[in-house]
């Protein structure tokens, strides 16, 4: 029920902010992109996924979608290469940060990282005056992604970011810190939804939806 309510609100946010382009950062196999199409979004979806195996699934799923394009790389606050901690049986848990949990099949894989503001013109080529929703689901790395978007934030009308209440990765920011960064950049909170809970029923992770503060 929580996920259904979140998708209903996502549709409202897309309409409220007149979004015509979603940057799907941490796309994995295209789960979020599929949900976007499922709620009726017909605009551009631009996916970023650094893992070769997952990008292959993503391309197979959306390669025939004329309003989709994908880039096999991660986004962050600096460009270069890095080692990603990849959980082979559950790649959605892969992160550039060190997990607080132990996975016997975790391996380090070298990936490419770029700043979004360096990639933005290439990613949105041919899209006139894009109104962007920046969706970030990067297992603790969202603020790094956001920092690398500094030079193109004028195109970003809304955000969706995963927030940590109880950290599952080392050095990941607390949800209050993340919200403060987004608010300082000119965004206001539209909604919060529960992503996961602890074994005791408390909130572990949240998704926040934010829109640009009215002038």
Q: Which residues fall within 8 angstroms of residue 83, CB to CB, at 6 or more apart?
A: 96, 108, 109, 110, 111
According to the model, what pLDDT value does residue 102 have?
80
- Domains of the chain, each with CATH number or no CATH: 2-77+113-212 (3.40.50.150)
Residues 6+ apart with CB under 8 A from 102: none
pTM to 2 decimal places: 0.94
CA 182, CA 149: separation in Å to the nearest integer?
12
What per-residue confidence (pLDDT) applies to 1? 64
pLDDT tens string for the chain (215 positions)?
A: 677 888 888 999 999 999 999 999 999 999 999 999 999 999 999 999 999 999 999 999 999 999 999 999 999 999 999 999 888 888 888 888 888 878 888 888 899 999 999 999 999 999 999 999 999 999 999 999 999 999 999 999 999 999 999 988 888 899 999 999 999 999 999 999 998 888 888 999 999 999 999 87
């Amino acid at each position: 029920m929580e996920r259904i309510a979140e998708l209903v609100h996502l549709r409202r946010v897309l309409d409220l902010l007149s979004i015509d382009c979603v940057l799907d950062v941490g796309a994995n196999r295209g789960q979020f992109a599929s949900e976007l199409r499922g709620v009726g979004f017909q605009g551009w979806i631009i996916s970023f996924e650094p893992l070769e195996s997952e990008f292959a699934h993503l391309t197979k799923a959306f390669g025939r979608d004329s309003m989709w394009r994908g880039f096999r790389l991660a986004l962050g606050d600096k460009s270069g290469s890095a080692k990603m901690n990849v959980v082979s049986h559950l790649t959605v848990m892969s992160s550039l940060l060190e997990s607080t949990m132990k996975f016997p099949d975790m391996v380090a894989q070298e990936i490419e990282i770029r700043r979004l503001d360096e990639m933005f013109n290439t990613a949105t080529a041919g899209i006139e005056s894009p109104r962007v929703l920046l969706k970030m689901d990067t297992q603790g790395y969202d603020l790094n992604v956001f920092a690398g978007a500094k030079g193109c934030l004028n195109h970003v009308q809304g955000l969706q970011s995963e927030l940590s209440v109880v950290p599952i990765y080392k050095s990941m920011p607390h949800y209050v810190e993340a919200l403060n960064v987004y608010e300082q950049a000119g965004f206001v909170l539209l909604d919060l939804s529960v992503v996961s809970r602890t074994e005791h029923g408390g909130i572990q992770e949240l998704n926040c939806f934010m829109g640009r503060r009215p002038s």
